[in-house]
Amino acid sequence: MNDIESREDIAHLVTTFYDKIKIEPTLGPIFIRAIHDWPTHIEHLTDFWQSQLLFNKRFRGNPAEAHVKVDKAEGHSITPEHFGLWMNLWFETIDELFEGEIAERAKRNARKMNTNLYLKIWEARQV
């Protein structure tokens, strides 16, 4: 297996991952309610991960704000379990498709992001 080396690799990872998310019984309904334009969402997330992993794309967006908005729309029901399911699918998808330094970076960055996003959701509930 090869490492993640290009935008095309990242797009393949993101597309494969979200194909799994859409059918996951707990996460799928949340994502389907939140995302109305899947091609644009996949492109946006490919930009995000390209900036995180290859450092050659400038990402414009606010992931924390987006996740707080989804949590609010879901009646503040997002839990650490949801983030754990997301992480398990992310790691599984990476391991199925890639191996190497950048693939491991994708896992490390996801761990950090996972913690940060849940903390942002929790903080927003306190206001």
Taking the domains of the chain in order of start, what are their residue ranges?
7-125
For the structural domain made of 7-125, what CATH number should be given?
A: 1.10.490.10
Q: How far apart are CA 122 and CA 77, in angstroms?
A: 11
Whether pLDDT at 57 is above 80:
no
pTM to 2 decimal places: 0.93
Q: How far apart are CA 75 and CA 84, in angstroms?
A: 19
Note the pLDDT tens digit of each residue in 61-104: 899 999 999 999 999 999 999 999 999 999 999 999 999 999 99
Q: Which residue has the tokens 């990872």?
A: 13
CA-to-CA dists, residue 30 to 33, 72, 75, 93, 125, angstroms: 5, 12, 11, 20, 18
Please give the pLDDT value at position 73. 96
Cα separation of the two ends of the chain: 47
